[in-house]
Amino acid sequence: MNPNTRRTSRAVTSIACASMLVTTACGSGFDDAPGQSAQQSGGPVTLQILIGSSGDAETNAVKQAAQTWAAASGTGATVTPAQDLTQQLGQAFAGDSPPDVFYVDAIRFADYASVGALEPYAGKISSPDDFYPTLRTAFTYNGTFYCAPKDFSTLALIVNQDLWAKAGLGDSDVPTTWEQLTSVSEKIKAAGITPLALGDTRDRVGAFMVQAGGWITSPDGKQATADSPQNLAALDYVRTLLAGKLAQYPSQLDAGWSGEAFGAGKVAMTIEGNWIKGALKADYPDVKYAAYELPAGPKGKGSLSFTTCWGIAAKSRHKEQAISFVEAMTKADQQMAFARAFGVMPSRQSARSTYTGEFPADVPFVNAVDYAQGPVNAPKMDSVLDDFDTGLQKLTSTAPKTLLERVQKNTQAALGTS
């Protein structure tokens, strides 16, 4: 080393150290002082509310409800629709500047709860037991019910009535078992129509696993159960549907999702959630269709439920106001107002009869809540499930057993039980 380079490297080090000193010295972004999360009292308070909106209808409805609440409570409320909720929340948590109230998708719930980002406030909401049990489970972590479910959706069998009639089928032909699903699909195929559009992710294929009596994790979310014989039976069945061209993935039908293929009249049936109503009304208003409960498998009826809760940040300085806001948003009549505005189903059982009275066509969706499986409720499972989806996309060319073993292995690693 000649003196020149030695001097160079010494200078580099000193510059680096100096800049480190500066950052730590004037560091104020991460403030761990307990005082910061203390409740703030007095002065005007404005709640920051971040939502992952399904569209303008939802954004406007939530904004309106927030304004009504703000006027009544004297607390300000700013509703911001996120462009990418997961990413924005992640950076907000790391930046120590989370919004007070935000949507938490059940799929991400355990991630947030496990790192202590969420306030477990659900017990303070009036009559928490009124929320459907399956939704409460979806937002329970280590035995604590954290946050109030906003609303929910389930999967049902959607039938295109014109194509149904074209295939020579009647109301009594709607399948209620796997066997009937196979036989009716064969008839539809014989009539030259693609029978079923099926989304290529665990959020659709998973329904078959539930019908067979399986799931990816045990009910408490602690054990991996992906490689069970029940799951194998389900994937084998789905594979035969795909191989026989009785079911096709949306991409095979040149569609972004099943609803698009269904609306365009490319298939006679699809398995989708109640959000399909809004999509069909907007893009394909002329399609005549009806929803039915999903056909039962070896173990009986099964469906999947999807839900979002109103999360409150553990670091929020306005928790009291935030809880009062959520209380207002989850009242049965407010939930009905949301249902009318953007087609979601109320998460409170007390609103069930009002809802089915007003939307009789949705009875199959509501009924599914009694036997539906919620999303996997365990942290660090996101990449595992994405990997499972990748496998499902190649279901026709991969052995289901190999696929499930891989999911089992990854799940065990994520849950720390291997």
Partner 1 sequence: MTGRRPGAAKENLAGWLFVAPVVVILGLFMLAPILMAMWVSLTDWNGQGSPFRAGVPFVGLDNYTRLFAEEGLARQDFMTSVRNNVYYVAIVVPAQTGLALGLALIVNGRLLRGRTFFRAAFYFPSVTSSVAISVVFLFVFANSGAVNGLLRLFGVEGPQWFADSRGILHLVLGALGVVDPDAPPAALTGGGPFGLSWWEWLSGPSVAMTTIIVLVVWTTSGTFMLMFLAALQNIPVTLEEAALLDGAGRRQVFTHVTLPLLKPTMFLVLTLGMIATWQVFDQVYVMSQGNPAKTTLTPAFLSYQTAFNGFEYGSGTAISFVLFAIIVVLTLVQRWVLRERRA
Partner 2 sequence: MPDRKRSLASTFAGYFILIFVALVFLYPFVIQIATSFKTEPDAAANPLSPLPHLATLDGYERVFGTDLPLWLGNSLLVTVIITTGRVLLDSMAGYALARLRFRGRRALFATIVAVIAVPGVVLFIPKFLVLNQLGMYDSYTALILPVIADAAGVFIMKQFFESIPVTVEEAARIDGAGVFRTFWSVVLPMARPALLTLTIISVQSSWNEFPHTLVAVQDPALFTLPRGLADLVSGSLGKGTQYPLKLGAAVLATVPVAIVFVVFQRYFVRGANEGSDKG
- Point out which residues bind partner 1 (CB under 8 A): 15-16, 18-20, 22-24, 27, 29-30, 32, 86-87, 90-91, 93-94, 96, 111, 115-117, 251, 254, 380, 382-384, 386-387, 390, 393-394, 396-397, 409-410, 413-414
Nearest to 194 by CA among 290, 269, 103: 269
Q: What's the one-letter identity of residue 340?
A: R
Q: Closer CB to partner 2, residue 328 or residue 341? A: 341
- Structural element, H or E, at residue 393: helix 382-393
Q: How far is the CB of 404 from partner 2 (least distance, A)?
A: 31
Residue with tokens 């659900």: 122
Minimal distance in Å, beta carbon 15 to partner 2?
A: 6
Considering the rule CB under 8 A, would residue 366 count as an interface residue with partner 2? no
Residue among 377, 307, 302 nearest 347 (CA): 307
Residues contacting 135, CB < 8 A, separation 6+ = 149, 152, 305, 307, 347, 369, 374
Contacts with 117 (C-beta within 8 Å, 6 or more apart), sequence order: 93, 98, 313, 314, 315
Judged by CB under 8 A, the chain residues 234 through 293 that form the site for partner 2 are 283
Q: Is 46 in the site for partner 2 (CB under 8 A)?
A: no
Q: 11 Cβ partners below 8 Å, 6+ apart? A: none
CB of 88 to partner 2, least distance (A): 5
The least distance separating partner 1 from the CB of residue 147, rounded to whole angstroms, comes to 17
The rounded distance, in Å, linking the Cα atoms of 84 and 92 is: 12
Question: Rounded to the nearest whole angstrom, what is the least distance from the CB of residue 234 to partner 1 in the complex?
Answer: 21
The site partner of 414 among partner 1, partner 2, none (C-beta below 5 to 8 Å per kind) is: partner 1
> Token digits for 211?
């019908």
Q: Which is nearer to partner 2, 95 or 416 (CB)?
A: 95
What's 267's DSSP letter? E
C-alpha–C-alpha distance, residues 105 and 292, integer Å: 26
Residue type, 334: Q
Total site size for partner 2, rule CB under 8 A: 33
Binding string, 53-92, against partner 2, x = CB under 8 A? xxx------------------------xxxxxx-xx--xx
251 binds, among partner 1, partner 2, none (CB under 5 to 8 A by kind): partner 1
Q: Which does 53 bind (CB under 5 to 8 A by kind): partner 2, partner 1, none?
A: partner 2
3-class state of residue 52 by DSSP = coil
Closest listed residue to residue 309, CA positions, set 42, 128, 92: 128
HSE (CB half, 13 Å, CA atoms) of 271?
A: 28
Told to check if 52 binds partner 2 by CB under 8 A, we report: yes
Residues that bind partner 2 (CB under 8 A): 4, 7-8, 10-12, 15, 23-24, 26-30, 52-55, 80-85, 87-88, 91-92, 94-97, 283
